Chain A
Amino acid sequence: MNARLRYVAALLAPFLAGLAVAAGEESIELQDAPGRDLVVARCSSCHSVDYVQMNAPVLDRAGWQKSVRKMIDQFGAPIGEEDAQRILEYLATHY
């Protein structure tokens, strides 16, 4: 599978898993870089990843760190330390 197909598959994964995915959100294109598929797979269990783009001008690394911790600690996202670190690295580097 090429990168584009992998990305689309990641975007569609929650839909295939029976989650409510909003029409239109498959059009969201996050920056193609290591960590993207993980971000899409984990974050889009609960929300569309346009949240990432929307907050890009607002959050620096510390802000993204706080945001990722909030999702895990307060919103109950089942994401382990290793994945959390990879997600943070992607967000802080590319957004």
Chain B
Amino acid sequence: MVTRRRVLAGSIGGLLLSGLRTDAFAAAPSASELLTALPGKRPLIKRTFRPPNYETPLADLRSQITANDSFFVRYHLASIPDVDPSTWRLRIGGASAKRPLELSLDELKRGFERLELAAINQCSGNRRGLFTPRAGGVQWTYGAMGNALWGGVRLRDVLNRAGVNGDALEVVFDGADGAALPGTPDFVKSLPVDRALDAHTLIAFEMNGKPLPHWNGAPARLVVPGWTATYWVKHLTSIKVEPKAFDGFWMKSAYRIPTGAFPGARFASQENAQTTPITEILINSLVTSHANGDRLERGRPAELAGWAWDGGSGIGAVEVSLDERRSWRQTTLGAAPSPYSWRGFRMALDTAKPGPVQIAVRATGRNGARQPEQLTPNPSGYHHNIIQTLTLEVV
């Protein structure tokens, strides 16, 4: 069914970019960053070669929909097969499934109602490289995220075909990617059964109207809108409905945050007194029109613009402060294709007077949640969503 991808990248054009700018409040993650192209991708910021971890440069995050060829790539394990879609099978079973079944890609595409949904796919550790104190792991800055149109079928419909028993507690997902060593825990994730049965949780085989790119989970992946990307299992091969909590490494030891430290949905069957799984994306925003330190030409019209998003309540307001957070003014919001998509904001900047322009941006959700001033420390560097600040200079 799968052939091993012996050499991940055929030809690579490497390019060193020096002096990449970062937040005024953040430690620079590195003095230089390597832009490298994986096969089928544009040059992205290389964090690690193997397993491949590549983030999207700010310039490629300026469109409402992030292009497939610049969408970030994140893997834990380095054995990533080229899955043949014609022989690929998805197996649905588990102790709480009434009628285990197996689906070909064609059966999956034809056998269920199809839909398309715009949603943010954001790594739990996005911006980890900007954490103070610093946290170990992939040192992402802003680009371990993107917004795409995911096309597929409802996981709920597939699970109902298999029949979900009343005792079902979690649904467990495995993909075709694996580890180099037999002793390394396979990347397997679970969801609470109610989140798996949510009408917005998809098995997607299309991304922005095209078949899923290899590096983003071909031929089919899980899409869990509003939840961080750790649950969006790629190269999906197995779904198991189970009456008990899944106890694999990637649930019990990884992707956990201090219990009660953050807002967001609770994953009760995986929670203990100390830690709990990360779940929903927290409210956040990103300026994409400018980077910290950019210069503005005096007297020339300029506009600050970017995106705001949360875990699905929808964005209510994005405000900008130009006086060190003493007063805030509303920006103009754009459309949101879905509550799980990011929403644009923009505001004209006054360029009449020369000198620094200190900017702070904060988003507020329809549920009242607002970006915080301070980071909540946590060992793995998750949920970096503090108010972004940048200083531009009118010259």
Closest to B8 in A: A22
User: Interface size on A (CB < 8 Å)?
Assistant: 28
- Which among B175-183, B274-282, B297-305, B316-324 touches the partner chain? B175-183
Report Cα–Cα, A48/B78, bound state, in Å: 9
Report Cα–Cα, A54/B181, bound state, in Å: 22
- Which among A2-10, A32-40, A55-63, A81-89 touches the partner chain? A55-63
Interface string of A2-36 (1 = CB under 8 A from B): 00000000000000001111111101100000000
Q: Is residue A47 contacting chain B, with contact meaning CB distance below 8 A? A: yes
Q: Is residue B36 contacting chain A, with contact meaning CB distance below 8 A? A: yes
B50 touches A78 (CB 8 A): no
Chain A binding surface, main DSSP class: loop
Closest to B7 in A: A23
A21 touches B134 (CB 8 A): no
Contacts of B185 in A (CB 8 A): 74-75
B182 touches A47 (CB 8 A): no
Q: Is residue A41 contacting chain B, with contact meaning CB distance below 8 A? A: no
Contacts of B52 in A (CB 8 A): 22
Q: Is residue B19 contacting chain A, with contact meaning CB distance below 8 A? A: no
| Most chain A C-beta atoms within 10 Å of own C-beta, residue among B30, B47, B50, B135 | B50
Contacts of B11 in A (CB 8 A): 23
Known contacts: A24-B9, A46-B181. The answer to whether A54 contacts B47 by CB under 8 A is yes
Known contacts: A20-B6, A22-B50, A24-B49. The answer to whether A78 contacts B183 by CB under 8 A is yes
Q: How close is A52's CB to chain B, nearest CB, in angstroms?
A: 10
| Most chain B C-beta atoms within 10 Å of own C-beta, residue among A28, A45, A57, A78 | A57
Report Cα–Cα, A46/B75, bound state, in Å: 12
Q: How close is B142's CB to chain A, nearest CB, in angstroms?
A: 16
A54 touches B180 (CB 8 A): no
Contacts of A80 in B (CB 8 A): none
B181 touches A78 (CB 8 A): yes
Contacts of B378 in A (CB 8 A): none
Q: How close is B136's CB to chain A, nearest CB, in angstroms?
A: 5
Out of B8, B48, B80, B134, name the residue touching A57 (CB < 8 Å).
B134
Contacts of A75 in B (CB 8 A): 179, 181, 183-185
Report Cα–Cα, A58/B140, bound state, in Å: 13
A47 touches B50 (CB 8 A): yes
B49 touches A25 (CB 8 A): yes
Q: How close is B280's CB to chain A, nearest CB, in angstroms?
A: 26
Closest to B138 in A: A54
B182 touches A76 (CB 8 A): yes
Interface string of B135-147 (1 = CB under 8 A from A): 1111100000000
- A21-B8, A24-B9, A74-B185 provided; 10 other pairs, C-beta below 8 A? A21-B50, A23-B8, A23-B10, A23-B12, A24-B12, A24-B49, A46-B78, A46-B180, A47-B78, A74-B253
B residues at A contact (CB < 8 Å): 4-12, 14, 27, 29-30, 36, 46-52, 78-80, 134-139, 179-185, 249, 253
Give 30 pairs: A residue, B residue, CB < 8 Å, sorted on A: A19-B180, A20-B4, A20-B7, A20-B79, A20-B80, A20-B180, A21-B50, A22-B9, A22-B50, A22-B52, A23-B12, A24-B9, A24-B12, A25-B50, A45-B181, A46-B181, A47-B78, A48-B48, A48-B50, A50-B48, A54-B48, A57-B27, A57-B29, A58-B134, A67-B136, A74-B253, A75-B184, A76-B183, A77-B183, A78-B181
Top 7 nearest A-B pairs (CB, nearest first) are A76-B183, A23-B9, A48-B49, A25-B49, A22-B49, A48-B50, A22-B8
